[in-house]
A = this chain, B = another copy of it.
């Protein structure tokens, strides 16, 4: 079987970092607590100071999954208006999630709310916690025949 992965070039790096910079939401995959099914849920995301973050509630099941095992992945995609959804660019980012303290959450408040103005309604709730994602690697799919495997350094703005 032919290897479908193309050699990473600056066009791929630029597409990948652009998708992540523009992202307002992602599909988050987490591992099951005890066997069974992986979970995929929607999270709001923002790229702040070059790092992907989210805000999750303690009562959400994905928060419990990430607390138990921080290994996760995030599917980030450009909006699909029409046509074949598989022809549109998207990227899977493999990452470790880290819950951060209230002080760091407060310090990122204005940057996060600039990206997500409606989150002002709940940003300060005590059960909402800031999570940082440390990227391990990423799989970019720019459409059919445009698959790339990227490292963390490939995701910095070109």
Contact = CB atoms under 8 A, between A and B. Distances in A.
A118 to B, nearest CB: 4
Interface residues of A, number: 48
B31 A31 contact: yes
B42 A85 contact: yes
A38 B37 contact: no
A21 interface: no
Contact of A42 (B58, B72, B73, B86): B86
A29 B40 contact: yes
Tell me the number of copies of this protein: 2
A95 B94 CA distance: 22
A27 interface: yes
B41 A38 contact: no
Contact of A40 (B25, B28, B80, B84): B28
Contacts of A83: 118
B118 A44 contact: no
A94 B39 CA distance: 8
Given A29-B29, A118-B83, A118-B87, A40 B75 contact: yes
Contacts of A108: none
A96 to B, nearest CB: 9
26 contacts: A1-B59, A2-B59, A4-B60, A25-B80, A25-B85, A25-B86, A27-B27, A27-B40, A29-B29, A29-B30, A30-B38, A31-B32, A38-B38, A38-B71, A38-B72, A41-B75, A41-B92, A42-B86, A42-B90, A42-B141, A61-B139, A79-B79, A79-B80, A83-B118, A84-B119, A122-B144
